[in-house]
Chains A and B, each alone.
Chain A
């Protein structure tokens, strides 16, 4: 009878505010446990007859802990119905806590957990480049790690242009992703613990050519991923889902290339965009469909102060639109899609894709989500470069 989980779910669907109201309305006593993949420790709130009486998270207890949880917008929760013996430390009313917590989120006083891009430095050596985004990865699933490798400061892990299909997960340390350009080496983003190095294109049979260089910043420990296992899983997916994964992988490469292009000031197809000018997805639009391009060309770009900043050009076989399971920070919320006149799209059955995504192993899921995070971070770099290097030209038009 005891320790019975009576309610469990995802915080993304039912956030803490709603959850507390629900538990409160039912006058339940018990323990609410929350897990987020972005934190090492679980969060716990004790409820007595619907009211939170104490909480704990790491060294935090009481109200302090409860407020922190409002920042957990992603994660799992479960409520165990049981008699609570904890002391009543929290006396503030339930609704008061909820409203205060949400206010603190909006005031920026509570840190929002999630796939985040840290602007601040991670270790001593990153101080030289304060502006470069650092992408954190999810928790490492050791089931898939078959070997460990160490790299020393400044050593190349992967070299642009070389063949290679190994995939690594970054266990500890910082890795910088660089592109070789005509103006010299260009650092683009940095990756830290939990990040993946290598691309999903390695699952394909053809030899994979590395599209960027990865360099160890400080000493780095990598875990070699079981690529056979991953390839097997990949090959068992439907062709549509495979296509989606490849398209996302490709998009990251394209966005990275775009950053290099802006850096070298290759003024890219401004005229082309003006000729195309068929806005198929507007920025900020509520578009919930996913399409595959059958013909023509689509340019994904972001409107920033009325400037259209192209992020990547997509062609036949690529996917555009609302991606239901991860956040690229591209169309439709943060980017628009301009298409050539001859564009042809086919709508994709999202339900099936979503089912497949749910069934993915945690590592493959993590890789896709991580790729999405990198696209999001790199797009920011692209926009910065655009303003820095080519923004002035286009303004003089």
Chain B
């Protein structure tokens, strides 16, 4: 549910990075913030939540065109994973237009990924959304760790674990180096805007 701002002739939509704790959501957004400085209006808000950080900033995607003659402004958020932060999660997830699920490639985090994805589905359902319908991208993060000999799950296996039913676009990435971060975001923006366009067409 994007918000129309008639005064500014803007459409404000919301993209949320979701994933298990310490999977690199924050690193993703920090990289975006650093490398797309020109497209960012305002400062980055960072809230220290237990074991995690919640980030927020506004982002103006370039070259994605306008919807019904309105500029598009994107709000990027990460969600605190801990169960107890339900108020924050509610605010962030309410009216979400697009999602990036950041999965941790470490072998030891396999179960955490699956639990978190299930959790996402449950949360979305609470806000009347289906995980199968909302624009969603999966990112397999921390691929760079393979060079250091740390056991990672093959992308193929992760796809099977997480993406078998969803069949959404997925990308390997390394948020620390920035590999794949842009691709993930761009793809998510594309899906989100397409879905918004569809929605508005339908409303016409």
Contacts and interface: CB of A to CB of B under 8 A. Distances in A.
Contacts of A99: 45, 47, 54, 56, 88, 91
Interface string A83-120: 00000000001011011101101110000000000000
Which secondary structure characterizes the binding site on chain A? helix
Interface stretch (B21-29, B79-87, B98-106, B107-115): B79-87
B49 interface: yes
Nearest to A105: B87
A105 B86 CA distance: 9
A102 B42 contact: no
A98 B94 CA distance: 14
A168 B73 CA distance: 57
Given A93-B42, A95-B56, A106 B87 contact: yes
Nearest to A73: B87
Given A93-B42, A93-B43, A103-B47, A26 B7 contact: yes
A103 B5 contact: no
Nearest to B50: A107
A102 B5 CA distance: 24
A106 B43 CA distance: 24
B71 interface: no
B97 interface: no
Contacts of B75: 95
Contacts, number: 46
Nearest to B88: A102
Interface string A12-42: 0000011000000111000000000000000
Contacts of A27: 7-8
A245 B3 CA distance: 42
A374 to B, nearest CB: 27
A25 B12 contact: yes
Nearest to B42: A93
Nearest to B87: A102
A279 to B, nearest CB: 22
A363 to B, nearest CB: 33
A329 to B, nearest CB: 18
Contacts of A105: 87
Contacts of B45: 93, 95-96, 99
Given A25-B12, A26-B5, A98-B91, A103 B42 contact: no
Contacts of B91: 17-18, 98-99, 102
A6 to B, nearest CB: 14
Nearest to A97: B45
Contacts of B84: 106-107
B3 to A, nearest CB: 6
A27 B12 CA distance: 14
B1 to A, nearest CB: 12
B7 to A, nearest CB: 6
Contacts of A26: 5, 7
Contact of B88 (A18, A25, A103): A103
Contacts of B85: 102-103, 106
A147 to B, nearest CB: 45
Given A100-B47, A103-B47, A106-B87, 11 more contacts: A17-B91, A18-B91, A96-B45, A96-B56, A99-B54, A99-B56, A102-B91, A103-B49, A105-B87, A106-B85, A107-B50
Interface of A: 17-18, 25-27, 93, 95-96, 98-100, 102-103, 105-107
28 contacts: A17-B87, A17-B91, A18-B91, A25-B12, A27-B8, A93-B42, A93-B43, A93-B45, A95-B45, A95-B56, A95-B75, A96-B47, A98-B91, A99-B45, A99-B47, A99-B91, A100-B47, A102-B87, A102-B88, A102-B91, A103-B49, A103-B80, A103-B87, A103-B88, A106-B84, A106-B85, A106-B86, A107-B50
